[in-house]
Amino acid sequence: MIMGECVALVTGGSRGIGRAICLALAGRGVSVAVNYAGNEAAALETVEACRSLGVQAQAFQGDVSQPAECAALVKEVKNTFGRLDILVNNAGITRDGLMLTAKQEDFDATWQTNLRSAFFCMKEASRLMLRQRYGRIINLSSVVGLRGNPGQAAYAASKAGVIGLTKSAAKEFAAKGITVNAVAPGMIDTDMTKRLPDAVRAQMLDTIPMGKPGLAEDVANAVAFFAEPAAAYVTGQVLCIDGGMAI
């Protein structure tokens, strides 16, 4: 499959790592469906940035923590572009707190957005990919899903679940032309990490052998690799983009 003929759906694609992923794919000639939950202005900015690279792009609103909206989103993308070749499950939230004081609603929201959304988007997208006998699914996990982190039990568990989901789906779809892989970012310079207190940021940097945070583009390039035809014989893998944090 030629990248320039592909259509990608990126959940949570309006800003940060999601926006970088959209631009990395657009830069390789892929048409992009930019999913967003609430920030339409940011999504439209991403769409325009993709279009400036010479590809088709459109924004699609949808809360992917809800299974019915996952189904509606995939259907709308198919109706708009005619096909779906690449799914990037990037949508995610974190609601940090120590386990003894964590609220059930925060735990549930984290799982619904980070893990359940990936499952149901994969389920819907794979129906199209199976008919095409071609597909690339890339899930965003986290180094925290491999190492754990104090105060992030729900987030770590959801991201560890993404890894198990990735490996299971990879085995189900391997003989059907669909690859399923995961990218596990470490500390990446985003709006969220830039707001961290200096002491917390310094503590996190101490755990990174390279001694610096990564960029959203570093993650996006890894996602783009898994989406390319050159990665056709790679499936069920987890690639850490973390400056050595998970070593």
Beta-carbon contacts of residue 237 (< 8 Å; ≥ 6 apart) = 181, 182
Q: Which helix (H) or strand (E) holds 110?
A: helix 104-111
Locate the DSSP E strands across 75-211. 86-89, 135-140, 178-185
Say which of 36, 134, 155, 233 is annotated catalytic: 155
Give SS3 for 83. Answer: coil
36 is catalytic: no
* DSSP 8-state assignment for residue 180: E
Q: Which helix or strand (DSSP H or E) is residue 59 part of?
A: strand 57-61
SS3 79: helix
Distance CA 128, CA 21 (A): 22
Which residues participate in catalysis according to the annotation? 155
